[in-house]
Amino acid sequence: MKKLLTAFILLAAMLASPGTSFSLMADEEINIRIYRDAAPSVVNIVTSAVSYDFFYNPVPSTGSGSGVIADRKGHIITNYHVIDGAKSLDVTLFDGTKYSAEVVGVDPGVDIAVIRIKAPASRLKPIEFGDSSGLQIGQRAFAIGSPFGLEKTLTVGIVSSLGRTMRASSGRLIRGIIQTDAAINPGNSGGPLLDSSGRMVGVNTAIFSPVKGSIGIGFSIPAQTVKSVFSTLVTKGYVSRLWLGITGQNIDASDAALLGLKSTGVLIADVFKGGPAHRAGLRGADSNVRLGNVIIASGGDLIMSVNGKPISTMDELSDLMEIFEAGETVTIKVLRGAKELHIKARLEEMPRSR
């Protein structure tokens, strides 16, 4: 018994010794490899902005986020909301070197921005893009970023769900969002979500949390979406999107019954002067009606379909704009009073100020 006790004491001493070497588990080796290979492609972004207090005194503020190196020209991908409103941008590379950055292009519609630093190509290690279209629920997911300003942080989880929909600050829906339980916190925004091969399959953008910290529900913009806008942001500075030039309200069956309308659709609340709808002769609301606790515009044209495709919501109308090109003419079926009209409108690019 005494010999057995001695053996246990010796084993405990070995476990407690910092010099003791043990072999790594297979999943630990994967974690280490992914961090070793991908972390040098991840940067910390510090933003500086100036606001004004009640007495118009300048009040400086700072924020932080993450980003990924896209190429050896110094282009860095991050979230639009990370750099929105910033007066200056400072980027810290994995090796600790710091550079000022300039904004190259932004797409608020998918919450992506591209910034650029003037750094030697030898210091820049571009991230390897993966294919987000092949993701499966349950596969491993890895996030690298600067949560709460703590740079070079790795968290591990799984792909919790796919095909989520999230609304960007511009009001546009971002579809195909990846949900993960890999811990994402403020400061992780703009950093990569990686697969088990260390390839970027998403850009971490938001969390759902009642406590302003990770509770295991994080969201990433899929890599396919990022790739679709990156080159345009680099060459053009923005992504062209078409518009009809209206604001509208969704009218469902119950709303239609209360308003005395014979169809559902999008009721035009306002028409922007000089826009496609204005030039086509579409009409906005001329009064308001209270339905319970909701005020609904009335008297405007009710859009029922575009080129024969039924329209029920403003989101559907926005999505439909994606399949057309600037200068293309569409036929809009509207209900004006008791009459159904077919009105042609020539689509154009949405003004950048919107």
* Residues assigned a catalytic role: 81, 111, 189
User: Angle 26-148-163 (CA atoms, 0-180°, nearest 5)?
Assistant: 65
Eight-class DSSP state of 129:
B
With beta carbons less than 8 A apart as the criterion, state whether 30 and 196 touch.
Answer: yes
Tokens of 198: 């260390």
Measure the CA–CA gap between 203 and 112, rounded to whole angstroms.
9
For 10, residues 6+ apart whose C-beta sits below 8 A from its C-beta are none
Report in angstroms the alpha-carbon separations of 231 from 89, 139, 180, 265.
21, 29, 27, 36
DSSP code of residue 170: T
Instruction: Tell me how far apart the terminal alpha carbons of the chain are, to the nearest angstrom.
Output: 81
CA distance 354 to 351: 6
Q: Report the chain's C-alpha Rg in angstroms.
A: 26
Which stretches of 108-147 are assigned E, i.e. beta strand? 112-117, 140-145
Contact (CB, 8 A) for 299 and 285 = yes
Could you tell me the two tokens for 153?
């942080």
Task: Name the token pair of 54.
Answer: 């009640």
Q: Which residues contact 262 (CB under 8 A, 6 or more apart)?
A: 256, 335, 338
60, 100 Cβ separation under 8 angstroms: no
Closest CA to 327 of 349, 305, 350: 349
Type of residue numbered 215: I
How are beta strands 140-145 and 302-306 bridged, if at all?
unpaired
d(CA 143, CA 129): 14
* Block residue for tokens 């020539």: 346
